[in-house]
């Protein structure tokens, strides 16, 4: 099991904030889960000679609160054990943070996760946390990030200031893993543009505000690029991909408008690094039909478009892509939901289909079935690497 090195100072900041003898409220919650993946096609690369993969995960959460709720500590460790991929067997501290709430301000110290973004199929503006790439290929699972976060609440918006003392390297599937490229990513030999390496002090500032039907956010980030450049190198007689982490400045803007049954969404970024300068954007809408067929069910229809100024030279999977989908919520006691979406790459003529269905059983159980299917014929298309990784996944979760 590989547990990434964390900032001891950031962790202890939360723990030492617990005063001796103080009246403290304590709560424990969380979940354990089992995932079974069934791959419908033979593997594309060597060392992937299996069609089923079983894994188990645990994510408890411990919460302390004192001083009438003005101080709190949250501790959320995470552990996954995977049947086939040693790199996917890993642990992380998703959160270990102390929060103090003052009058019109709040400070958070430790490890935590921060999410920015409004669109459904891609989150361009989400930049604080590193992607936990072994959890899933969609990039939505994140590693805990060391941070000092000061939030200032004003009538004209909320200002968040971040100091990020330390960098988390992205995780990648190992030699035996699926949903990966043909060359293995050698995370042990990662390289950095900054001489400080993973100890570089990153910083960000974000303003967010609500004006009537509009929610908006604007930020500037300076620090280590969370998206590494994967450079082919010969190491110990084998050709591997070595991650190279550049420094970058990035500005981002997100906007969401809720107008009657319409939900309009927009995200855009401008990234400036040593290797490139470019704009990218994701925009679309979701329209909801409420109470379909005079029932309690709601049906949402989604349409989005993703654009990257670099076009086919982009090192991102989404550079000229159209997304269509639908979300069905039965609004029943079991919280039954189904989300289906298809993406079409307008440059490479490739497609991917995603189906996600979930339902709660009893008070503590949840079962979900996910399907991921890919079609790609152009070797220049990044999705070509996973064109034979179509799979179904059954997940059983037990909450406590």
Contact indicator for 166, 128 with CB cutoff of 8 Å: no
What is the Cα–Cα distance from 368 to 196, expressed in whole angstroms? Answer: 43
258-273 pLDDT, tens digit each:
999 999 999 999 999 9
30-46 pLDDT, tens digit each:
999 999 999 999 999 99
Q: For 267, what's the count of Cα atoms within 13 Å in the CB-facing half-sphere?
A: 19
Mean of the per-residue pLDDT values of the chain: 94
56-88 pLDDT, tens digit each:
999 999 999 999 999 999 999 999 999 999 999
User: What is the DSSP secondary-structure string of 323-385?
Assistant: EEEEEEE--STT--EEEEEEEEETTT--EEEEEEEEEEETTTEEEEEEEEEEE---TTSGGGG
Position 5 pLDDT exceeds 60: no
What is the Cα–Cα distance from 36 to 396, expressed in whole angstroms? Answer: 9
pLDDT at 20: 55
> Residue range 243-272: average pLDDT?
98
Cα distances (Å, whole numbers) of residue 78 to 81, 90, 163, 178, 191: 10, 8, 24, 21, 26
pLDDT at 23: 84
Domain 28-399 bears CATH identifier 1.10.10.10: no
Name the band, by pLDDT with cuts 50, 70 and 90, for residue 3: very low
117-154 pLDDT, tens digit each:
999 999 999 999 999 999 998 889 999 999 999 999 99
pLDDT at 228: 97
Position 14 pLDDT exceeds 70: no
What is the Cα–Cα distance from 394 to 92, expressed in whole angstroms? Answer: 23
pLDDT at 9: 47
Name the band, by pLDDT with cuts 50, 70 and 90, for residue 1: very low
Residue 8 phi/psi, 5° resolution? -60, -35
pLDDT at 11: 45
220-238 pLDDT, tens digit each:
999 999 999 999 999 999 9
Q: CA 358, 359, 362 angle in degrees (round to 5)?
A: 150
Residue 313 phi/psi, 5° resolution? -85, -5
pLDDT at 137: 86
H or E stretch covering 234 = strand 229-235
Residues of the chain above pLDDT 90, percent: 93
Name the band, by pLDDT with cuts 50, 70 and 90, for residue 16: low
- Give me 92's structure tokens: 């992380």
- Give me 114's structure tokens: 């921060």
> Residue range 156-166: average pLDDT?
98
Position 372 pLDDT exceeds 80: yes
328-366 pLDDT, tens digit each:
999 999 999 999 999 999 999 999 999 999 999 999 999
pTM above 0.85, yes or no: yes
- Give me 280's structure tokens: 């990218």
């Amino acid at each position: 099991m590989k547990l990434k090195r964390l900032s001891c100072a950031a962790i202890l900041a939360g723990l030492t904030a617990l005063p001796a003898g103080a009246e403290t409220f304590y709560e424990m919650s969380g979940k354990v889960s089992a995932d079974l993946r069934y791959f419908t096609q033979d593997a594309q690369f060597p060392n992937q000679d299996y069609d089923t993969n079983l894994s188990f995960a645990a994510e408890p959460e411990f919460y302390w609160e004192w001083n009438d709720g003005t101080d709190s500590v949250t501790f959320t460790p995470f552990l996954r054990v995977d049947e086939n991929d040693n790199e996917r067997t890993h642990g992380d501290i998703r959160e270990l943070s102390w929060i103090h709430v003052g009058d019109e301000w709040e400070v958070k110290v430790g490890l935590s996760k921060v999410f920015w973004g409004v669109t459904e199929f891609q989150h361009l503006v989400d930049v604080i946390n590193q992607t936990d790439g072994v959890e899933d290929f969609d990039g939505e699972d994140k590693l805990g990030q060391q941070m000092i976060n000061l939030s200032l609440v004003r009538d004209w918006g909320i200002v968040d200031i971040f100091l990020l003392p330390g960098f988390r390297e992205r995780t990648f599937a190992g030699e035996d893993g699926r949903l990966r490229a043909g060359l293995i990513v050698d995370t042990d030999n990662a390289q950095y543009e900054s001489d400080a390496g993973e100890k570089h002090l990153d910083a960000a500032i974000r303003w967010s505000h609500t004006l009537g039907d509009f929610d908006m956010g604007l930020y500037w980030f300076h620090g280590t690029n969370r998206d590494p450049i994967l450079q082919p190198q010969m190491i110990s007689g084998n050709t591997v991909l070595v991650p190279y982490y550049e420094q970058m400045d990035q500005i981002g803007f997100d906007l969401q408008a809720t107008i009657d049954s319409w939900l309009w969404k927009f995200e855009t970024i401008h990234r400036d690094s040593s290797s490139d300068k470019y704009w990218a954007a994701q925009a679309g809408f979701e329209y909801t039909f409420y109470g379909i067929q005079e029932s309690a069910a709601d049906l949402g229809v989604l349409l989005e478009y993703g654009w990257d100024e670099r076009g086919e030279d982009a090192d991102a999977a989404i550079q000229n892509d159209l997304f269509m989908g639908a979300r069905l919520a039965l609004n029943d006691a079991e919280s039954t939901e189904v989300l289906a979406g298809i993406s079409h790459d307008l440059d490479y003529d490739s497609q991917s289909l995603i189906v996600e269905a979930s339902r709660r059983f009893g008070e503590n159980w949840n079962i979900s079935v996910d399907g991921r299917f890919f079609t790609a014929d152009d070797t220049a298309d990044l999705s070509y690497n996973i064109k034979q990784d179509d799979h179904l996944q059954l997940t059983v979760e037990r909450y406590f």
